[in-house]
Amino acid sequence: MRIIKSLIKVIINFFKSFKFRLKGIIFFFLLFILSNILNSDFSYMGNSSSDFTSTIIKVFWSVILFQIIKLLIVYISLGYIFDLIYGYALDYINSRREKIISNRYIYLFLFLSFISIFLWSIINNPQLYVDNFSSKFNFLNSFHNIMTDYFSPWIFLIIFFVINITALILALLAVIKKNKFLFTDVIRFFKNLDYKNRKFQISMILIFVLAVAIINLKLTPQSDQKNIIIISSDSVRPDRLSGNGYFRETTPNIDRYLDKSLQYRGVTTTVPRTFPAWISILTSSTPMYNEISHMFPRSRERSEKIPSVCDYLKDMGRLLNF
């Protein structure tokens, strides 16, 4: 009970320090405005129509507004969390120094974190930016190519984690310093556990065995699967499959495969266009290599012979239907 009261006091202390949290909210709100200015476009494959845009806004204005509000809440929440961490980190540093570091440095930390994760994303997922950069900002197209050709995404990811893990550790030290009673109770709780008790040891072993069994049950693929079945459906979100929890029974046949299959949820397309995406799937090559980067490639690009999974299966005598 005392631990719960201590946690409540910690939360109250966080809200009492709200005056230091506005910098992150302001920074992320400006990012939100900028992202909407750069990406509020109803064009499709480079084509746009004012009549189509006005019709979409008129019919789906409530859905659009709801999505914008959700995104705004996410941006503001992230701004508050990052500012919370950086604010407490600076508090801890200032408590050990004679010269006080201004809270304005939070803007610098926010900018460094944003730019490092942004550059990592550009290099790691170039397909997300290629359309926007090439169609709206030609000079950014060259920058995009330089980043993806000459820099490793790990450089910027390491910078991001160094900044934020350091800030998080300092912030935790600041919280511990302000709320020693909470952590004293937690430490006392673990010290009072009887680790030599046989019931406790058996319980830990059972929990470990159960966790291993659950992981193996979900992640171990079927060893007797011999066929490759490719099912393709354009512009269908995975969360609209009933096998993934959608409330309507939309895909009963696919659901039976999902029940016996291993599903990868973190897959990102190389290019958000059907034809180049299919080329990348079948050849395991990116558009920068196979030169198929849009829906209507030239005859020279179409005539290029790129080894694909179809060739491999055909050589093995396993290609039955294509």
pTM of the model: 0.55
The percentage of the chain sitting over the pLDDT mark of 90, rounded to a whole number, equals 14
Find the range with the poorest average confidence among 2-6, 191-195, 227-231, 266-270: 2-6
Split at pLDDT 50, 70, 90, the class of 150 is confident
What is the arithmetic mean of pLDDT over 157-182?
Answer: 83
Long-range contacts of 165-168 (CB under 8 A, 24+ apart): 166/89, 167/85, 167/86, 167/89, 167/109, 168/85, 168/89
What local confidence, expressed as pLDDT, does residue 20 receive? 53
Which residue has tokens 């995104």?
A: 71
Higher pLDDT, 48 or 117: 117
**Helices 105-124, 153-178: inter-axial angle, 10-degree rounding:** 140
Residue 227 DSSP one-character state: -
H-state helical runs in 137-220: 138-150, 153-178, 180-191, 198-219
Per-residue model confidence as pLDDT tens digits over 293-316: 777 776 777 777 788 887 877 777
Residue 208 host element (H or E): helix 198-219
The answer to whether the beta carbons of residues 210 and 220 sit under 8 Å apart is no
Per-residue model confidence as pLDDT tens digits over 119-145: 998 888 777 777 677 666 667 778 888
Task: Give the other-Cβ count within 10 Å of 259's Cβ.
Answer: 8
Query: Which tokens in the block code for residue 191?
Result: 């010290």
What are the residues facing 44 on neighbouring strands?
Answer: 47
Type of residue at 114: F
